[in-house]
Amino acid sequence: RASSAASRASLGAVTRDGVRIEVGANLGSVADARAAAANGADLAGLVRTEFLFLDRETAPDVDEQTAAYRALAEALGGRRLTLRTLDVGGDKPLRYAPVPPTANPFLSVRGLRFSLVRPDLFRAQLTAIVRVAVETPVTVLFPMVSTVDELRAARAALDDVLRAEQASPAGLRVGAMIEVPAAALKASALAPFVDVFSIGTNDLTQYTLAAARGDGGVAALGDPWDPGVLRLVDSVCRGASDRVTVSVCGEFAGDPGAASVLIGLGVRELSVAPARVPEVKQAVRELTAATATTTASAALAAPTASEARATALG
Ligand code: PEP
Ligand code: MG
């Protein structure tokens, strides 16, 4: 019985008209990776590597990081491992790498911006990622990309590490997180540099509505169903060439009703908390991609978040 539940869990998520959607899990520990595998995730769609860096006095070195990423890969049993490079700054400061105090940490040195001003830390992390990528399929994901120049610089750092390691891992893919409205609008300019766009709707919503995450006073404004956010997701899907997979890894990916709109817009991968994987796979199996396209158009045209949500659920 347990084994038949496990084999059902690992069945793919295919819409009624035959469109395959990869359903991944968001991870922050080896326990999460085990839960992802047990719940039938197709891949780890987002590993928040901050768990290795926070609450300590010194940065983890290359060997420690390599061992940690390898442990995740082992728990995932060969599934693709999407390793996001360090996403600190903002509300997640590091004791050993202070950034100057600022009134607006969310608008300051965070995500990829931080890695680009700390090339020593960035290089160590990329080295560990490349060492694991020669053993298992890996996507390296850069958070908080705002400009083409940043993405070029990140790719150059990765290329340097590949040269130094004399490695050319066949399964290595490169992704940019789309969390900044300008990046969503420039998706077609960013596409030549990546294989994957991973839309972080948590941050994309906060920056689009100018409503800070976790700020109760503006919580109602920070709604990913806002048609302004949906139009940015549409811009990312249109800007992605056929070669570039569009994924959503924010909380919105697991919202009931979101699957139809996102798939209708062109998203082909959803990454959610491990426990939500079976439900999201089931939601995908119950929908038709052709109908989802109509739903998505209606949601884009809706004047308000609640009307967009109603279109999808109705
Ligand atoms: C996001 O911003 O949607 C995201 C997935 O990243 P995080 O929640 O870690 O900022
Ligand atoms: Mg984010």
287-310 confidence digits (pLDDT tens):
999 999 999 999 999 999 999 999
39 a known binding residue? no
**Chain position carrying tokens 């295919």:** 14
61 a known binding residue? no
**CA–centroid distance, residue 261 to ligand 2 (Å):** 21
Q: Is the CB of 201 under 6 A from ligand 1?
A: yes
Q: Which one of the listed residues 133, 249, 287, 299 is annotated catalytic?
A: 249
**CA–centroid distance, residue 48 to ligand 2 (Å):** 9
Flag whether the ipTM exceeds 0.95: yes
3-class DSSP assignment, residue 43: strand
**Average pLDDT for 247-272:** 96
Q: What is the mean pLDDT of the chain?
A: 95
Alpha carbon nearest to ligand 1 atom 3, residue: 200
Binning pLDDT at 50, 70 and 90, where does residue 7 land? Answer: low
pLDDT score, position 184? 98
Q: Is the CB of 222 under 6 A from ligand 1?
A: no
**CA–centroid distance, residue 202 to ligand 2 (Å):** 6
* Ion ligand 2, residues whose Cβ is below 5 A away: 179, 200, 203
In this model, does residue 102 exceed pLDDT 50?
yes
Output the pTM of the full model.
Answer: 0.96
- Closest ligand by atom to 199 CA: 1
237 is catalytic: no
Instruction: Yes or no: say if 253 and 270 are a contact pair by the CB < 8 Å rule.
Output: yes
Binning pLDDT at 50, 70 and 90, where does residue 97 land? Answer: confident
H helices of the chain, where? Answer: 2-9, 30-38, 62-76, 112-117, 119-133, 148-165, 181-185, 187-190, 201-209, 227-239, 258-265, 277-285, 289-301, 305-313
In this model, does residue 9 exceed pLDDT 80?
no
